[in-house]
Amino acid sequence: MSLFKKIVNILMNQPEEVPQQDLVKLGDQLKNADLDYKFAQLFTHSGGFFNYCSDESEALQTLNQIIKIEGIQSIFCYDEDLVNFLKVINTSYTQDLRTTNDAAFITCEYLIAYDGKIVLSYNNIQHYDSTRLPEKIIIMANVSQIVNNLTDAMTKIKRSGNTKNLTSISGNQSKLGLSTPNNTKLFLLLLED
């Protein structure tokens, strides 16, 4: 990226673009690393915010901090287990996606170590298109959901029958299919199983 473009991005408060070749190079350097470490490195390198949580109590504290720091007022969340987290910290939520939601709190299908992406399905975002999700997305996942690559994830998804409304998101371009990065902030709360 040119110096001029970097300055303009800083002045316009735009995230810096992460060249795809840098991710590929980092992925190659980490090819022999543990899957969880490789995923965390690639996810954060692409602009995501990674939070490891040893238990649900720590996840609850981290979630509360994210909500306060980001100034989140209303969250889209329909997963009953996640709704319980929001009730504990007394945060407003809707079970239907609305334009007034400034964040989404969801689960995911798999975390891809190969490129730091997160696979979502109908189970995570219902019938909504991923491009309609708010600019702040908080995802709760377990370490056991990390797989080596997209092929492994798709094999497991086909076996479970969750092939409806599949998409993937990452830190630098959180809406698959858009050609330019947007201002989406992607937070991951990774829980130990």
Residues 38-97: tens digit of each pLDDT: 999 999 988 999 999 999 999 999 999 999 999 999 999 999 999 999 999 999 999 999
Of 74-88, 94-108, 168-182, the range with the lowest mean pLDDT is 168-182
Tokens representing residue 117 in the block: 């992406």
Question: Which residue in 77, 173, 169 sits closest to 125, CA to CA?
Answer: 77
Domains of the chain (ranges; CATH) run 19-191 (3.40.50.10420)
Residue-level pLDDT at 181: 44
Task: Look up the pTM and report it.
Answer: 0.81
Cα 132 to Cα 25, 97, 104, 174: the distances in Å are 32, 8, 10, 11
